[in-house]
Structure 1
Amino acid sequence: MALVSCNTKYWHYAIVISLFFFLNIYLLYNTAQHTQIKEKLKHEKAEENKNEIASCEIVDELAKSAISRAVSQECRRKLETEACQLKNGTFTDQFPISTCSNHDEQLVDSPIGCFADKKEARVLNDFEYKFPQQNSKETCRKHCYKAGFVYYGLEFGHECFCGNDLTNSTKIDDKECQTYRCPNSNDEFCGGFNAVEIFRTGLRKQITPRKAKYLPPSDELVINPVKILFLLQLNGRNERQVKRFLKSIYLPQHYYYIHVDSRQSYMYSEMLQIADKVNNIHVTDRRFSSIWGGASLLQMFQQVIRDLKDIEEFSDWEYIFNFSESDFPILPIRDFERLVSSNKGMSFLASHGYNTGKFIQKQGFEFVFSECDQRMFRIGKRDFPHNLRIDGGSDWVGIHRDLAEYSISDQEFPRKLRKMFESILLPLESFYHT
């Protein structure tokens, strides 16, 4: 009787436990089913993407050549995807309207007039493009603008001229510039025979880079010197040269951040030994394989700026200068410190020193490059955004902290500029200049 009484007393607990048991089984079953469905959908989506890439007929010879030379399957997929994006017009982001003080939206396409022109004495003689299939006001203006020119001119249907001054200018009747239709726009005229129609690009004036104030060598100590972070980008095995270089630029109040190429194990181990002995030297374990001309050089530089936020000992740096293992100073470090301190707030960027249009052409800005398999592949022609002024020079730069942190921010312009420069050859030579 006692046993029966006990079972009768607790039978409802058994029912509740059983219900919970079956409920858990049901939930586990549903979760498993849901996971399977998600995986199935994910797989189907991947197949769709794969088919989408495969269904894009790649006809550009540059892209086809690049894909055929890719070694890894991952690289091939990357090249195929980007080639299809180029073909479909989704590769290039639309940039925001320029807020640069030298840009005036009201000056864009502002007409100057029709002028007599000849090959021996051009009205706009700084740079010339030929666009047999694509010439238009928009095409010509965009190319002249990005090279920093104030004026652009259309002539003979397919010719586009850029310049900052009107030379040999003789104004003629506007009808003389309405002889040839633009190849890319039948609603527009692209000049006449020996007659160039000139417009403003939207830039107020030609910009001349400001030069740093020269200071002769001196033994005087700098009052309140800036805090400099020396970034050493190392790729090689000559650790003795690196040690000599470090000794020549070392001061206890500055900071030394060392990045060693991911393929250089010996140099990395040698630098770790140095960092263990000196407090203001840091060797990063986040290492890139930095190939010549690759996007990884710029990505590494900007990753260093991000990582500096987590290094408390380096929190008050004001400038970042990058160097390689083959560099060596020709002036004492105190003179360098004094030069930077006397130009506080400015960034140090070496210009290419000649016509920007020629520089853009020489650097291959007109082409899209893609980095994979530790090399840069050229996969097609680039469609540049509007109102983007390009410049460049040396990839050895001195960047003020304000500019450095702005360049890695999530604001629209630097974010889109970073994306664009992933596909540009030698990006560190022009990103900060631009």
Structure 2
Amino acid sequence: MSLFRFPLILALIGCCATLSAQEEPSLKVVRTLEMPQKSGEYDSPLVAFSPDGKRLAASWKEQIVVYNVETGKPQARIPLPEDATSLGFLSRGGNVYAYVDGNLATWDAATGKLLSSAPLELLSLHLDFSPQGDLVALCHRGTLDRTSEHAVVEIRDAKTGKSLRQVELMQATTPGPVQFHPADGSTLAVDIGEAMVVLKTADLTEVITLETDPKDLAYSPDGKRVASADFSGYLNVWDVDQGTRAPGFTQEDLFGMDTNRSLNAVAFSPDGKLVVIVGRRRGGDDKYNRLLVMYDIEQKGKVVLSVDDESLNDFRTVDFSPDGTLLATTGDDEPGVTLWDVSTLVGKPINPLPGNSQPATSTPARPAPASPPAIVDRKWTSADGNFTVTARYVQQNATHVQIKRADGSLLAIPKEQLSAADRAYLVRMAK
């Protein structure tokens, strides 16, 4: 669950440079979603886009605010008894969920009406819902009455709350972020302190352990790669099946001898071709620059865009909109969520939003890729003709295609079950 920023060698060797007057920055602030302050201070909020990209939820200072992304105006304000520790949208229906005050609660995103509240009473909880919305994965330290010395990973039925299976990770003492395989939910990536482990959802057996010290982690949309932003200031990107770093993503490739960074968050673009990290970097005179760097995975870690300018504030969170045209970021003591236009990097137009259009210190490093085929609603049929579903293509991997129905619900369908016409359509979408 989780937002974003980005001259090239500058971010890597710690030098400073100035854009010439002729250079036209491509990264612009579309809008800042301002948040009311409380007690004279600002917090860095949790943020999440809705599955359709029309809403953005932000949680901070004992409240959740749901914004209309197009207008920038709040649609719903939800008071909380204390700060939330997890925030997101359910894939089915697009309702908001949060873990707060020992309860997992859901609200109607349009009205802010409380829909459900289930007591969990778990310590140091991190959670994520499966792509189908039927399961919830929890990483915690046990209950108030029965504390565990190690991190516990647990799978529950999302509807009933019934615990289905759990495992105590003996090598982990501190619970960390957990994330389902975005395409089919078949595996989980879990931060276990000084490493990241990938588990099978079906039985919670280990697939692979990756050496890292993650502060934040992210799966690529197809689940083939997983990335971590480390406490040591490094970005790691692995091929999950091979257990090896993606080409160009060793620490030496990306950063050389530079260790003057502190990273806070990492995110993949919806097409899985880009990965972005945010944090801060020590500049001259012991001052800090806020830091956002975006890398092209297919071009072996080539820097696509960066923000590396002097600021009192770190970038704290980052996330892409579902269509990849917007990047959302927050920072320390900044009074809101900043939306950045990154549409030129994904080859898609963006509908201008009302508000600011302020350039950032940023330079594009490659031409925009060609636009993908148009994504429209279509009838998906099975090879045997037993089912027909009208839905919109979302993404695919080697075995499944994910589609979204008009009600916002997501379906993951094995490709082998689809008609020949649908499989031919998927081949065109993959180009």
TM-score (norm 2): 0.22
Q: Which has the larger radius of gyration?
A: 1
TM-score (norm 1): 0.21
